[in-house]
């Protein structure tokens, strides 16, 4: 009888301990993305994770696939392969795409800029396929490039099967990978020209108009939100990837598999709130000419050049952080000629002795190689009587 009582007491204690563990875990890390299967939030500058929930689980992501479609489009524009003024003729296949669309006309001619705008605002499947065919010759070849780019970005849990996100076997991603590709897309400043538009029209041949409305409600309802892409299919549930900026800090947040539309907006908003309330992004190196650092130049008309960081450097930390930040400058052995923008060194940022950022240092001056007369002048200037 004693053994039975002891066994019962042990089971009661075990159940109590399990319940306590769950409560403690929830109090330490609240569920910021309720009613969503997966979520991820990070600081954009450093990539530091703020919140994660099943962030590497492979799932369908619906129209969030279009983030990669847009990224490749902007990269093609930046490389000179595409001009947003180019006139694109829409194929019958592109015009016939189902789902969200802007009803492009077969053989209709549209500016690339208008097609890109319709993808950003209205998640237009027909515009996606038209751009894919323009850039790669076919959607299949474009999808191959999508997967190559995903691999280059380290998106190990992603596979694209089309450029629209419509349900198709073998297509999946995860919350963390979606955050990576949205983070890469917003490195293109012109993207914000379209991502912040709430309503607009696309004009077809003959003057017919199709009204477009942005499905990302946070553009209007959340302070600082200026980018994002929604997604929905019955298979993927309600999805959203978005970014918001306040001061020096930009946050990227993603939810996948929301049970309803509001759950995705609530999830992303909660992660934004948590990040902005508890963390900050300190600018420890501005992108301006360094007043106290110069790089020596061998055999040049100038013996040294001023330098400027290639980008600003930020340290992401909690608001009550007291960590020690140090900068280590290292210059290369530079020989003339040297041009403005040449890399002459780098600066490494440390937080409590741990590297958190590394930035190239660029020449802010140009210097031609010195000649014979320059050498004579240097001898005269350094002559000691």
- Please pick, among 37, 41, 53, 63, the residue that the annotation labels catalytic: 63
Q: Kindly name the residue from 37, 41, 53, 66 that is annotated as catalytic.
A: 66
Give yes or no: 66 in active site.
yes
Write down the catalytic residue from 91, 100, 123, 127: 123
> Do β-strands 294-298 and 334-335 pair in parallel, antiparallel, or remain unpaired?
parallel
The answer to whether residues 219 and 241 touch, using CB atoms and an 8 Å cutoff, is no
The answer to whether 34 is a known catalytic residue is no
Q: Is 123 a catalytic residue?
A: yes
CA diameter of the chain: 109
Which are the catalytic amino acids? 63, 66, 123
């Amino acid at each position: 009888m004693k053994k039975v009582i002891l066994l019962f007491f042990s089971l009661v204690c075990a159940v109590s301990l399990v319940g306590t563990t769950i409560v403690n875990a929830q109090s330490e890390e609240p569920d910021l993305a309720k009613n969503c299967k997966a979520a991820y939030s990070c600081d954009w500058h450093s990539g530091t994770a703020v919140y994660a929930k099943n962030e590497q689980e492979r799932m369908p992501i619906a129209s969030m696939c279009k983030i990669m479609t847009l990224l490749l489009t902007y990269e093609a524009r930046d490389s000179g392969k595409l001009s947003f003024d180019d006139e694109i003729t829409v194929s019958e296949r592109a015009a016939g795409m189902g789902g969200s669309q802007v009803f492009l006309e077969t053989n209709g001619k549209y500016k690339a800029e208008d097609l890109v705008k319709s993808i950003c605002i209205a998640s237009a499947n027909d515009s996606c396929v038209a751009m894919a065919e323009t850039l790669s010759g076919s959607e299949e070849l474009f999808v191959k490039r999508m997967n190559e780019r995903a691999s280059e970005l380290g998106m190990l849990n992603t596979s694209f099967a089309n450029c629209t996100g419509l349900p198709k076997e073998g297509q999946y991603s995860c919350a963390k990978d979606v955050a990576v590709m949205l983070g890469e897309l917003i490195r293109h400043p012109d993207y914000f020209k379209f991502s912040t538009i709430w309503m607009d029209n696309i004009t077809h041949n003959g003057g017919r108009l199709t009204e477009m409305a942005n499905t990302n409600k946070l553009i209007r309802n959340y302070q600082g939100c200026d980018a994002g892409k929604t997604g929905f299919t019955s298979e993927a549930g309600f999805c959203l990837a978005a970014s918001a900026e306040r001061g020096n800090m930009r946050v990227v947040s993603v939810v996948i598999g929301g049970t309803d539309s509001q759950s995705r907006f609530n999830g992303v908003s909660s992660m934004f709130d948590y990040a902005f309330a508890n963390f900050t992004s300190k600018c420890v190196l501005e992108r301006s000419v360094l007043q106290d650092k110069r790089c020596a130049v061998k055999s040049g008309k100038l013996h040294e050049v001023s330098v400027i960081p290639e980008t600003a450097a930020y340290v992401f930390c909690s608001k009550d952080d007291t960590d020690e930040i140090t900068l280590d400058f290292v210059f290369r052995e530079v020989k003339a000629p040297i041009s403005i923008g040449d890399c002459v060194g780098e600066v490494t940022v440390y937080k409590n002795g741990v590297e958190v950022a590394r930035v190239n240092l660029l020449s802010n001056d140009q210097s031609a190689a010195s000649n014979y007369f320059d050498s004579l002048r240097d001898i005269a200037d350094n002559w000691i009587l």
